[in-house]
Amino acid sequence: MIYVDETEPDEEAEPPFKPRKVVVKSKEPQNEYILGEELGRGKFGIVRRCTEKSTKKKLAAKFIIINRIDDRQEVEREVDIMRSLQHPRLLQLYDAFDDGKTQMCLILECIEGGELFERVIDDDFVLTEKACTIFMRQICEGVEYIHSQSILHLDMKVCISLLSLIYYNSIHTKH
């Protein structure tokens, strides 16, 4: 059985890195990052573990397939939004790349706990009412912050909430 630590977090985890001015670079991420194993695959691309060569910082590389001009514009809009949102409950953007052809890559904070939805449907995962209230409060904190910045999250669902349970009972919301 997998149990969730039900203690209320005493403090927020330190941010994984200081806020950065992210500019989309027109080169390959492999110039600056060592790519590791695949963490996930979705409709728009894949996410791989990566390590920044200069700092050895562990991050995640989200490769997004660009099929149409609209796709590139949507990713650019996502980058603009992520640049403006700095909150402990939101997944943080670290770097961005555009090959100018068929792919863009966002370098993101790496959340080790996986997706909340995958945990909830696991038969061995024990989710108590108290743990649910902790998770829901944290998700609401992230969404409240997004709304306070006059941004609406149009794709809110349980499978976009990532768990960071190693050090804190902490939820991060992809935006």
Between CA 13 and CA 16 the distance in angstroms is: 8
Between CA 4 and CA 171 the distance in angstroms is: 12
Tell me which of 10, 70, 123, 155 is the catalytic residue.
155
- Secondary structure of residue 123 in the 3-state scheme: coil
Residue from 19, 25, 90, 105 nearest 60 by CA: 105
* Amino acid, single-letter form, for residue 132: C
**5 annotated active-site:** no
Between CA 110 and CA 133 the distance in angstroms is: 24
Q: What is the DSSP annotation of 96-118?
A: EEE-SSSEEEEEEEPPTT-BHHH
Helix-, strand-, coil-residue percentages of the chain, each rounded to 5: 25, 30, 40
Asked whether residue 62 is marked as a ligand-binding residue, the answer is yes
Catalytic residues: 155
Residue ranges for the known binding site are 62
Residue ranges for the known binding site for ATP are 62
